[in-house]
Structure 1
Amino acid sequence: MTMPQEYASAPSEGLSFPRLHARTQRFGLGVPRGFTVSPDGERIVFVRSGSGTDRTHRLWVLDLPADGGEPAERVVAEPSALLAGAEEELSPEERARRERSREGSSGIVGYAVDASVELAAFALSGRLFTVGLKAGGAAGKGGEARELPVPGPVLDPRPSPDGRWVAYVTDGTLRVVGADGSGDVELAVPEDPDTSYGLAEFIASEEMGRDRGFWWSPASDRLLVARADDRAVRRWFIADPAHPDREPQRVAYPAAGTPDAEVRLFLYGIDGTRTEVVWDRGRFPYLARAHWSGADAPLLFVQARDQRSGLVLAVDPETGATAAVRTEEDPAWVELLPGVPCWSPDGRLVRIGDENGARALTVGDERLTDAALHVRAVLDAGPDDILVSASAGAAAADPETGETHVYRVSARGAERVSEGAGWHGAVRSGAVTVLVSSRPGTPGPVARVLRDGREVAVVASYAAEPPLRARPVFTEAGERRIPCAVLLPSWYEEGHGPLPVLMDPYGGPHGPRVVAAHNAHLTSQWFAEQGFAVVVADGRGTPWRSPAWEKAVLRDFSVALEDQVAAVRALAERFPLDLSRVAVRGWSFGGYLAGLAVLRRPDVFHAAVVGAPVTDWRLYDTHYTERYLGTPEADPEVYAAQSLLTDDGLSAPAEPARPMMVVHGLADDNVVVAHALRLSSALLAAGRPHEVLPLSGVTHMTPQEQVAENLLLLQVDFLKRSLGGFPGHQPGGRG
């Protein structure tokens, strides 16, 4: 078998694929995102950088003339002009917010608008800016972006629904200023340095999908404000060994079995009045969701610490008293899903629940979907229907591997909005929908604007063109019908014989990898071009197939490994897979799974790249870990069984001992580097071969261009050395 030389670097504009992949942030720069549609259907607001290699995002408006004229885009906020050419400066709090959201770009990466979508507010370099969005609008609603003179650094500014005020957070204090820059006042002031108002605590933003800590009332006269008290949370210290002269970063990290932040909720009037929202915080300490629309009272979803029960609560905005609207219970855990709970415009509760083996949409007392759909999120609750994201459910005639679609759901049934194989999402207001579609055969997402179901515009993308084409074959494997994607080299011919295998999973909760989209598989395809048959398998524990599929990992993550084994063995009957040379690579949970694979199934896996792994679940956070494993105090045997450090195979040198490359960012505050260091110590004590690649200054993300590029190249080098038998391979060489 001969591998064509050009695939070793996949040049584009003189850059290798790894370098271009890093420079373009996985070909995501230049892609429009963060859409908001105005209620009158005349404007779509979004952010987008200037090219496929430009990291600075600008704020844009696409005007949709009511008379049916030609749609036109315009920039309404340009960071370089607003900062007069100065470099953007981020506060530690803003860096932490971007780390939680995995945001690696710069400029205007987020914004908020008033109810009419005529005024936007955003923070830039810790300063507060507003801009009118309506072309030719009245004073304050159109024209140039302006800076409001407020104390900083500013976090998460949000206009009131009527556009008269802007609320924002600085130094843990929630403040309110007039949209004209006048009347800036402190509203909620922290009592000590370990308390903050208006910000999401660590586990809310990292694990719950709640990235904010305050909500305006529909009448713009008061706010619902979260207070987070970190005093009881244990402090960890993250040092930078490359700079021993710098003090370690002190962070509040709620590890499994240890105290969480105490979260309370208050109603603040613009006049400074304060009323506490009361519920049984002892039994339900987690504030998972908050929703306040014009339909009814503020709505909360609070969870018990074990996450097996939760309450949907309606809040009396005058007294702060709460009334239970619904109790949610599940013997495994109650799943948190985007967009719910909320009120429909006619005041009925909209929820998604696990019922009779399906994840169903219910409005009021009426269940609107059956087992043919697995509902993932509510995208918009309209007067005539609910817009949802869903995939084929257990009762679907066609499994649609890797696909997700947008549906309009009502008492009349479910009508699909998106068409064709792909990964589809949407944003809607009134008659206008922005439908964003990623497809297997087309690079990058396409954002189409629909009015009453008819396409009226396509939002331009400036993304770079990938220098190779991903060629995933979507299929199912084994008796459990495990969703898989298989990628072979583009130069592969049948006579070449079986290929060494690279399993490339995430394989765990909240991380689907088998998605019917092109760019999601580019890195896997690049590895395939190096001479591998790459297999991506979404086994039990991964989301969006069925509730039972997701909850199969309760108290036992090893079922995720079982499905990787089952998938590769079943696929070898249909694809050219050399089962005598099987490697695995992964990051985060995928890194844990890779380590688990070579330690517990060395008969199947022959080498592993173990990236940012959780090796001891006692060192990971409460909300994630306790959902699946309980607590270390109550379930010590469960934690021991899931740990990579207590595996029986580490107690003494064992054969076969499979080589491992352990990679970890030293600045990671999510999966701290202690995980990798403890694994290396255990492997050394057991006499097991391994390499450790510490990434100085790198967090759980790897946005640095040179780091991201060379990390891919070093992985290929390690895998070829470990598996052997590649074209031109020499033992100990680069292959």
Structure 2
Amino acid sequence: MSTADAFLDQYLRTHRFQIGVPTSFTVSPDGQRILFLRSQSGTEPTSCLWQFTFDTGEEVLVADPAQASAATGDGAGAASEADAWMRERTRERSRGITGYATDAAVSMAVFTVNGRIGTSQLESGTTRFLDGLPPAFDPRLSPDGRHIAYVHAGELRRVAADGSGDRLVAAPDGEHVTYGLAEHVAAESMGRLRGFWWSPDSEKLLVARVDTARVQRWYINDPAQPAVPPREISYPAAGTENADVSLWIFGPRGKPVPVTWDRGAFEYVVEVNWDRDEEPLVVVQDRGQRRMRVLRVATDTGLTRVVHEETDAAWVSVVPGVPAITASGGLVWAADREGTRRLLVDGSPVTPPGLQVREVVGTDGDTVHFRASREPTRTHLWSWSPAEGLVQETRLPGVWNGRAGGGTVVSYGRTPDRAGWSVAAHRRTGAVCTLRSLAEQPMLTPNVRHLTVGPRELRVAVVLPSGADPARPLPVLMDPYAGPYLQRVTAEQDGYLLPQWLAEQGFAVVIVDGRGTPGRGPEWERTIHGDIATPVLQDQVDGLHGAADALKCLDLGRVGIGGWSYGGFLAALAVLRRPDVFHAAVAGAPVTDQTLYDTHWRERHLGHPEREPGNYARSSLLEDAPDLVRPLMLIHGTADDNVVSAHTFRLSEALLRAGRPHTVLPIPGSAHMVADIDIQRSILKIQVRFLQDALAGDPVTVT
């Protein structure tokens, strides 16, 4: 086996080198303890709960999912449908304890394993699994640690932390109603994964009621299993009805109180914060996404008042982590001001123009911790406080994130000079620790050239084969995502590991982040408003030509392109509209008909299809089918409930009607995230062979 093939096996077996990496950090209020998830090796994908204590300097295994099996003898319990649905929304591939919650004191943690609720007393290290409860999803401790709320089969339940007194809080009052769960667009497009929140005094619960009765029904089937009935899903495609989402306050006594706001004008519930004040904050957004309001809720009446509002002619961006509240009651927000996404406290910007805020990661007293970039390829952890002003917490080049509490800051990230994650914590007292990453080290080291090209200063990465001769022309493989909210050209070695394997197959791999990608400010992101195709494709062409000018080894007569999801759409777009530049394409799970994608994501960029049909026409691929003159492979999982496989089959039908040969590779039973390692390996190798064959000869000249 060659080194490249051995690396590919390693890459897939280790889940892209994510197994063994510490994640999901929680810092205790006194800053002395750090809770986190990690497996016990770099190859075992079972995630466990760990605790580091500054006093001892030791990491202690708190909860091992194997305890669930030991407790029952058979690993009893089954993950709920909601759990499987959420794993797909978050693209979670590990097993075991993949999420947890704590009480306010971080003295107890709660989680599920195979649908069973487990609790860990963090001081004693005692873990137990609660008996007699139905399969649970998303258990969360009350702040005082006395009770657990959880979801089962669309109903919200509440039980004492010792497992006694399990009772119903809210039951579905209709066939398509759930309580305590996020709806599709909240989890897939807004980043809100939760559907219920405890009050700070542990007495009340704010609960989302979701009614999908008016949402159209689609049916996902596995053609390889004809005896299995299709799976019905409610999918709010662009221009169709959304789920009806309302909020209700459940107290210890009396009837639930509905939260009231103009739900007709603001139908999206973007985020909820009930971490500190008696009155929770709720963020709502209108259907056109041009208005967003922060509401404060009176919990006795459910009445709301507007405490902040944002408007934008294109769309108001959802920034993770806001709203937040400081210890002194300051409202933390992030908004676009003077061409920069800036941090606001009580409505006033506290960060300068040019520092682009990516996410608010939390507050510690009156200190706000957040991620931000001056250079788009690098993201650092920052803090701001009234006492110290703006502080850059991380210094090494790379892509950094963090969590904080009790005067302790956990910083974690990846750097350009080495593979793998670095995780460190430092206290105001000066104590410093490093949390161990058990991830394997890759067998290949990326051979990357970073470039800034053209008048738009496009960020480009070129990955060359190990030991490549700079004078020898290489066929080019464009490897973009290039869409909203995801960058590929970043200062981290790990992002170029799979591109390096592709390069080892004989390609110069070119990655371009163009207009619409994050980190370069709101104007850059909104350039794609009304047209997610034309400017993005032009930037791929300009980035390719700029890279070829800088590196003479790129053979512009042999250019392939491949990608997944938005990258798949872009790959198909490239050979359909610019066959003079791109000579072959592999399009994985592409959005080909923009009217088939979800409301919140697609209407953000293209508007409502009934009012702005031209935006959808210029950004869809079906009308371009007669123009195909290059080899095109379409790949799609038949169980995909995010980008449904109808996208690929509709384009294939249009190509057949136009008499255009193409290749379709269906993946029976696979969702948007292909989980099976053997299938992943085969897909990658089939793509490479397809592109190698397509680029082997002299491409037909297209004028």
1: distance between equivalents of 2:550 and 2:413? 30
Aligned counterpart, 1:485: 461
Q: 2:547 aligns with which of 568, 571, 575?
A: 571
2: distance between equivalents of 1:715 and 1:592? 16
- Shift, 1:401, TM fit: 4.8
1: distance between equivalents of 2:658 and 2:430? 64
Q: Deviations over 1:467-509 (max 9, x none)?
A: 10123222211110011111111121233x2211111110101
Tell me if structure 1 keeps the 8 A contact 2:363–2:404: no
Q: Does 1:40 align with 2:34?
A: no
2: distance between equivalents of 1:584 and 1:322? 50
Unaligned runs of 5+ in 2: 699-703
- Shift, 1:10, TM fit: 2.2
Question: Map of 1:214-293 to 2, 5 A cutoff?
Answer: 214-271=196-253, 273-293=255-275
Q: Does 1:145 align with 2:127?
A: yes
Q: Does 1:350 align with 2:325?
A: no
Tell me if structure 2 keeps the 8 A contact 1:443–1:518: yes
Tell me if structure 2 keeps the 8 A contact 1:301–1:312: yes
Aligned counterpart, 2:159: 177
Q: Does 1:430 align with 2:406?
A: yes
Tell me if structure 1 keeps the 8 A contact 2:250–2:257: yes
- Shift, 1:100, TM fit: 0.5
Task: Flag the 1:483–1:256 CA change in 2: closer, same or farther, 3 A.
Answer: same
Q: Does 1:643 align with 2:625?
A: no
Aligned counterpart, 1:622: 599
1: distance between equivalents of 2:333 and 2:648? 40
**RMSD between aligned alpha carbons?**
1.6
Q: 1:304 aligns with which of 282, 286, 293?
A: 286
Tell me if structure 2 keeps the 8 A contact 1:499–1:531: yes
2: distance between equivalents of 1:36 and 1:165? 20
Aligned counterpart, 2:147: 165
Task: Flag the 1:452–1:474 CA change in 2: closer, same or farther, 3 A.
Answer: farther
Q: 2:383 aligns with which of 380, 388, 408?
A: 408
SS of residue matched to 1:421:
coil
Q: Deviations over 1:525-552 (max 9, x none)?
A: 1111111111111100111211011111
1: distance between equivalents of 2:494 and 2:99? 23
Q: 2:559 aligns with which of 582, 589, 611?
A: 582
Task: Flag the 1:577–1:348 CA change in 2: closer, same or farther, 3 A.
Answer: same
1: distance between equivalents of 2:385 and 2:197? 28
Task: Flag the 1:10–1:453 CA change in 2: closer, same or farther, 3 A.
Answer: farther
- Shift, 1:129, TM fit: 1.3
Q: Does 1:517 align with 2:489?
A: no
2: distance between equivalents of 1:594 and 1:451? 47
Q: Mean Cα displacement is larger for which, 537-546 or 450-459?
A: 450-459
Task: Flag the 1:40–1:150 CA change in 2: closer, same or farther, 3 A.
Answer: farther
TM-score (norm 1): 0.92
Question: Map of 1:459-474 to 2, 5 A cutoff?
Answer: 459-474=435-450
Q: 2:476 aligns with which of 490, 498, 501?
A: 501
2: distance between equivalents of 1:673 and 1:359? 36
Unaligned runs of 5+ in 1: 1-5, 135-141, 393-399, 727-735
Tell me if structure 2 keeps the 8 A contact 1:659–1:688: no
Aligned counterpart, 2:701: none
Q: 2:4 aligns with which of 10, 18, 32?
A: 10
Task: Flag the 1:180–1:272 CA change in 2: closer, same or farther, 3 A.
Answer: farther
Tell me if structure 2 keeps the 8 A contact 1:448–1:455: no
- Shift, 1:708, TM fit: 1.1
Tell me if structure 1 keeps the 8 A contact 2:3–2:443: no
| Structure 1 counterpart of 2:642, one-letter code | N
SS of residue matched to 1:572:
helix
Tell me if structure 2 keeps the 8 A contact 1:591–1:614: yes
| Structure 1 counterpart of 2:154, one-letter code | G
Q: 2:12 aligns with which of 9, 22, 25?
A: 22
Q: Does 1:120 align with 2:114?
A: no
Aligned counterpart, 1:105: 94
1: distance between equivalents of 2:669 and 2:453? 40
1: distance between equivalents of 2:470 and 2:446? 19
Aligned counterpart, 1:369: 351
Tell me if structure 1 keeps the 8 A contact 2:133–2:166: no
2: distance between equivalents of 1:689 and 1:523? 29
1: distance between equivalents of 2:692 and 2:125? 58
Q: 2:636 aligns with which of 636, 654, 664?
A: 664
SS of residue matched to 2:4:
coil
Q: 1:723 aligns with which of 692, 695, 699?
A: 695
Q: Does 1:610 align with 2:592?
A: no
- Shift, 1:419, TM fit: 1.2
- Shift, 1:18, TM fit: 2.2
| Structure 1 counterpart of 2:384, one-letter code | V
2: distance between equivalents of 1:162 and 1:603? 65
Task: Flag the 1:701–1:562 CA change in 2: closer, same or farther, 3 A.
Answer: same
Tell me if structure 2 keeps the 8 A contact 1:22–1:704: no
Tell me if structure 2 keeps the 8 A contact 1:285–1:302: yes
| Structure 1 counterpart of 2:559, one-letter code | V
- Shift, 1:453, TM fit: 7.5
- Shift, 1:37, TM fit: 0.6
Tell me if structure 1 keeps the 8 A contact 2:25–2:35: yes
Q: 2:659 aligns with which of 680, 684, 687?
A: 687
Runs of 4+ in 1 over 3 A off after TM superposition: 85-89, 410-413
Tell me if structure 2 keeps the 8 A contact 1:118–1:133: yes
- Shift, 1:440, TM fit: 1.3
Q: Deviations over 1:286-318 (max 9, x none)?
A: 000100122452101100000000111011111
Give aligned-pair identity as a percent.
Answer: 47
Aligned counterpart, 2:69: 83
Q: Does 1:325 align with 2:307?
A: yes
| Structure 2 counterpart of 1:256, one-letter code | A
1: distance between equivalents of 2:169 and 2:311? 37
| Structure 1 counterpart of 2:4, one-letter code | A
Aligned counterpart, 2:529: 554
Q: 2:136 aligns with which of 154, 176, 193?
A: 154
Tell me if structure 1 keeps the 8 A contact 2:200–2:277: no
- Shift, 1:455, TM fit: 5.3
SS of residue matched to 1:561:
helix
Aligned counterpart, 2:52: 62
| Structure 2 counterpart of 1:594, one-letter code | A
| Structure 1 counterpart of 2:260, one-letter code | V
Task: Flag the 1:183–1:155 CA change in 2: closer, same or farther, 3 A.
Answer: same
Task: Flag the 1:667–1:540 CA change in 2: closer, same or farther, 3 A.
Answer: same
1: distance between equivalents of 2:132 and 2:272? 27
